[in-house]
Amino acid sequence: MSRSVSIVIDNVFYTLQSAPVSYSRVTIHDVAARAGVSVSTVSKVLNDRYGVATSTVDRVRAVIAELGYESSLVARSLRNHRTNVIGVLVWDIEPYSAELLKGAARAIKGTGYELVVYAAGGKGAERMGWEHRYLSRLSGTLIDGAVMVTPTVDTAPFSTPVVAVDPHTGSEVPTVDSDNFRGAQLAVEHLLGLGHRRIGLLRRPPRDLESGPQREEGYRSALQAAGITPDPDLVRAGGYDDSASEDAARQLLTLPDRPTAIFAANDVSAITTIDVAMALGLRVPGDLSVIGFDNVPESAMTEPGLTTIEQPLQLMGQRAIEMLVELLAGRDLPQTHVRLPTRLVVRGSCAAPPAEPRRVAVEHSAAR
Amino acid sequence: MSRSVSIVIDNVFYTLQSAPVSYSRVTIHDVAARAGVSVSTVSKVLNDRYGVATSTVDRVRAVIAELGYESSLVARSLRNHRTNVIGVLVWDIEPYSAELLKGAARAIKGTGYELVVYAAGGKGAERMGWEHRYLSRLSGTLIDGAVMVTPTVDTAPFSTPVVAVDPHTGSEVPTVDSDNFRGAQLAVEHLLGLGHRRIGLLRRPPRDLESGPQREEGYRSALQAAGITPDPDLVRAGGYDDSASEDAARQLLTLPDRPTAIFAANDVSAITTIDVAMALGLRVPGDLSVIGFDNVPESAMTEPGLTTIEQPLQLMGQRAIEMLVELLAGRDLPQTHVRLPTRLVVRGSCAAPPAEPRRVAVEHSAAR
DNA sequence: GTGAAAGCGCTAACAA
DNA sequence: TTGTTAGCGCTTTCAC
């Protein structure tokens, strides 16, 4: 053990402590030696195999308890190729993936599986191919199956069952995503219903997730259904960093015939749009209505009044686990591509368009 | 590969697919055989060891790429006792732990470690001792160190460095928690400042986390500092299920000389308190002020107007990782018990006490 | 009923 | 420069 001394200053505990003494792991050998039996006998006891005398079982059990022995998950999974562990692979734990994880954790209960989340956590540069690398390194050993929360799911087949959440197009693996197309439609329909006719789209960066084009399609489809020809000038691409979205929003809003509403295919860019609008002297929703596609439930906290299209992230995580468990049980999935509904949540950022859309002063648009 | 057929009905993709063909794992043996070298040579190439001819290195590398080989984390960690993986052990992934995880994921970046989260996910019954069991099964292999997000941290020493978040009292291991005492003080001081004199405490169930008593102490301390003797009648214990908190809140509010403000040592019970108050015909904050101790950032969404004491959960997760990394580097911690500040976030649920506290009708109190 | 031996995929001595 | 060998902690034949 280690000894320590603590003092408290200003409500902060300061404790000085000697380095903790290291105790090495108790292995099956230790148990065998102490019980006076062979390793294989201990193994049999551990796994409830037949052919061990009751008295021996008792003795071994006693020693196991005495030593506090627990078998090594690693050694065991190297031998057996079953681990009863499901892995969820995420690039990072941020609000989006955290939400999925909550659902996954809920779904795993009672399945007999345990949940392990792997977060890559490296720099952006190493990102390429990490999902494949991780899956390779873990599958066959350590995890029985995986849920991949990652854009690029390698189509290369694995021995391990895999379910992908919100991946790129065309992946061969079973998939869970949300209805981006319908979500975008809902957003635009809502704006149309309020009387808007010039509706801008702040879309995602090119070559992004599959959901990007889907949202754009929904936007176009809703406009066309209302007899409006989409104006290419009203569609701009945002980016992953704030400044790209900011530029795009500014371009839209300083157009001579600017949109009276903007649908941002991403919650962060929706918030950016509101900021830009305010900086340009426009009021939301008086002069401009904004709807964001929600990736992050907390965005409603950041911008309490933002009307959003919400994805059922927890449910997506839950369904992914359920599907994987089916797969692991050797059953066929009734549907390999599950698409969950999105819904419109109306908050304060939308209103009818102004009778006479106020133009933004040119000075403003140049300023920055 | 597998062949599949998809149809779309009502925006849901239904895909029927034959069972995927299984491919077995590529091992170091496969690589060695294909490259015409021994396994150990491949291992040397993998680990950039000296003493391999450049031509051989190239050939092996080519085969590795060709076969898409990745070394098994499990086999490797059984051999080496270093894995460069930090484990975070949580009982479940819910809003509280998810928040900690976000901070942990942020902190791990750039440390060279990878993050693995283990969620126990079993039934409540198996809960006893799971932290010890998991740690046993993982330490020495698979993870180099662990952050335990769990009430009962076994004081039994492990070979593996461990940092505990918000544990029971008296744990020997390094610890991160938040300043529950000061937080409770802040809450009560705020209520006193508004003019309240009869302030109830809805405290945690007995034998709960260490933070329970700490919050109760803060409550008493703030009252006493204001010259008020804590009235034992104004202190009731909630429970983990809603109904226990509901009963406690009802008892407090139907007291002949009921409190004009309640400090709930937990966010869920604060929301319950507001519900009960409203059911009893009391308005918040007109007739009753409520402050909750926040475990879950989202509670502000559920009850947007709730004044809370907030814990820096993400920061706690971050600090825990930082401490663990220090420990793993073999350095001593400047402080083994880190206590992070809590802060008061004022929202609409508090106001000055009514001049004449309205009594709750007895019929009401009996009803249920 | 029990234990010796082989091997899961890998690394690190040591020989060749 | 390369391959052989032993062994990480465990399970599983298969003799005894």
Residues counted in chain B: 368
Q: How far apart are CA A71 and CA A43, in angstroms?
A: 9
Q: Gap from A299 CA to D15 C1', in Å?
A: 68
Q: How confident is the model at residue A15 (pLDDT cuts 50, 70, 90)?
A: very low
Q: What's the mean per-residue pLDDT of chain B? A: 83
Res A368 pLDDT > 50 = no
Higher pLDDT, A2 or B50: B50
> With a 7 Å cutoff on the CB, does B52 touch strand D?
yes
Q: How far apart are CA B30 and CA B54, in angstroms?
A: 20
Site of tokens 């040592």:
B265
Q: How far apart are CA B311 and CA B313, in angstroms?
A: 6
Q: pTM of the full predicted structure? A: 0.86
* CA closest to A337 among chain B residues: B13
Residue B158 contacts A, CB cutoff 8 Å: yes
pLDDT of residue A135: 84
Q: Identify the H or E element spanning B199.
A: strand B199-203
* CA closest to A75 among chain B residues: B78
Q: Using an 8 Å Cβ cutoff, are B354 and B197 in contact?
A: no
Q: Using an 8 Å Cβ cutoff, are B74 and A141 in contact?
A: yes
Q: Using an 8 Å Cβ cutoff, are B309 and B292 in contact?
A: yes
Higher pLDDT, A165 or B14: A165
Q: Using an 8 Å Cβ cutoff, are A144 and A83 in contact?
A: yes
Question: How far is residue B198 from each of residues A301, A343, B119, B258, B260, measured CA to CA in Å?
Answer: 32, 45, 42, 8, 6
> SS3 of B133, please?
helix
Nearest Cα neighbor of A228 from A203, A204, A196 is A196
Residue B71 contacts A, CB cutoff 8 Å: yes
| Other C-beta atoms lying within 10 Å of the C-beta of residue B92 | 19
Strand ranges (E), A155-227: 162-165, 175-178, 199-203
Q: How far apart are CA B172 and CA B235, in angstroms?
A: 31
Specify the pairing of strand A175-178 against strand A162-165: parallel
Output phi, psi for B71, to 5 deg.
-70, 145
Question: b vs e for A81-116, b when ≥16 Cβ sit within 10 Å of the residue's Cβ?
Answer: eebebbbbbbbbbbbbbbbbbbbbbbbbbebebbbb
Site of tokens 């809902």:
A186
The average pLDDT across A326-352 equals 92
The average pLDDT across A290-306 equals 78
Which residues are bridge partners to A339 per DSSP? A177
Q: Using an 8 Å Cβ cutoff, are A263 and A199 in contact?
A: yes
Q: Gap from A51 CA to D15 C1', in Å?
A: 15
Q: How far apart are CA A109 and CA B120, in angstroms?
A: 9
CA B219 to chain centre: 24
Residue B33 makes CB contacts below 8 A (sequence gap 6+) with none
Q: Is B49 exposed, middle or buried (0-12, 13-18, 19+ CB in 10 A)?
A: exposed
Residue A116: list chain B partners with CB under 8 A: 116-119
How many contacts does A have with B, using Cβ atoms within 8 A? 224
Residue A29 contacts B, CB cutoff 8 Å: no
pLDDT of residue A128: 65
Residue A72 contacts B, CB cutoff 8 Å: yes
> SS3 of B350, please?
coil
Residue A263 contacts B, CB cutoff 8 Å: no
Q: What share of chain B is helix, strand, coil (3-state, %, to 5)?
A: 40, 20, 40
Strand ranges (E), A209-364: 235-237, 261-264, 289-293, 307-310, 337-340, 343-345
pLDDT of residue B2: 29
- Asked whether the beta carbons of residue A335 and residue B13 sit closer than 8 angstroms, the reply is yes
> With a 7 Å cutoff on the CB, does B53 touch strand D?
yes
- Min Cα distance A330 → chain B (Å) is 9
Question: How far is residue A55 from each of residues A36, A180, A325, B288, measured CA to CA in Å?
Answer: 13, 63, 39, 66
Where residue B52 falls (left for φ over 0; alpha for ψ -120 to 50; beta otherwise) is: beta
Question: Which pairs with CB-CB distance under 8 Å and at least 24 residues apart come from A21-25?
Answer: A21/B157, A22/B159, A23/B157, A23/B158, A23/B159, A24/B140, A24/B159, A25/A72, A25/B136, A25/B139, A25/B140, A25/B159
Which chain A residues in 50-109 sit with Cβ < 7 A of strand D? 71-72, 75-76, 78-80
pLDDT of residue B189: 97
Q: How confident is the model at residue B159 (pLDDT cuts 50, 70, 90)?
A: confident
- Asked whether the beta carbons of residue B4 and residue A336 sit closer than 8 angstroms, the reply is yes
pLDDT of residue B37: 95
- Min Cα distance A56 → chain B (Å) is 23
pLDDT of residue B200: 96
Q: How far apart are CA A98 and CA A257, in angstroms?
A: 41
The average pLDDT across A169-187 equals 88
As ranges, strand C nucleotides with an atom below 7 A of a protein CB are 1-5, 7-13
- Range in A135-144, A341-350, B86-95, B281-290 the model is least confident about: A135-144
- Range in A77-86, A205-214, B174-183, B306-315 the model is least confident about: A205-214
pLDDT tens for residues A140-168? Answer: 778 999 999 877 666 555 678 999 998 76
Residue A17: list chain B partners with CB under 8 A: 174, 332-333, 336
DSSP assigned state of A54: H
pLDDT of residue B20: 30
User: Which stretches of chain B are DSSP H helices?
Assistant: 28-35, 39-46, 54-67, 73-79, 95-108, 130-138, 180-193, 211-225, 242-253, 267-279, 299-302, 313-328, 362-366
DSSP assigned state of B143: B
The identity of residue A176, as a single letter, is V
If you write DSSP's letter for every residue of A78-100 in order, what string do you get?
Answer: HHSS---EEEEEES--SHHHHHH
Q: Gap from A144 CA to C7 C1', in Å?
A: 21
- Written as six digits, the tokens of A349 are 């950022």
The average pLDDT across A120-124 equals 65
pLDDT of residue A167: 73
- Written as six digits, the tokens of B153 are 């941290």
Res A271 pLDDT > 70 = yes
pLDDT tens for residues B21-43? Answer: 334 678 999 999 999 999 999 99
Residue A21 contacts B, CB cutoff 8 Å: yes
Nearest Cα neighbor of B284 from B256, B261, B252, B312 is B261
> With a 7 Å cutoff on the CB, does B40 touch strand D?
yes
pLDDT tens for residues B320-335? Answer: 999 999 999 989 999 9
Residue A300: list chain B partners with CB under 8 A: 301
> SS3 of A352, please?
coil
The average pLDDT across B299-319 equals 86
Nearest Cα neighbor of A261 from A236, A226, A243, A286 is A286
Residue A337: list chain B partners with CB under 8 A: 6, 13-15
> With a 7 Å cutoff on the CB, does A29 touch strand D?
yes
User: Which of B74, B135, B314 is the mutation pick for testing A, counting most A CBs within 10 A?
Assistant: B74
Q: How confident is the model at residue A124 (pLDDT cuts 50, 70, 90)?
A: low
Residue A170 contacts B, CB cutoff 8 Å: no
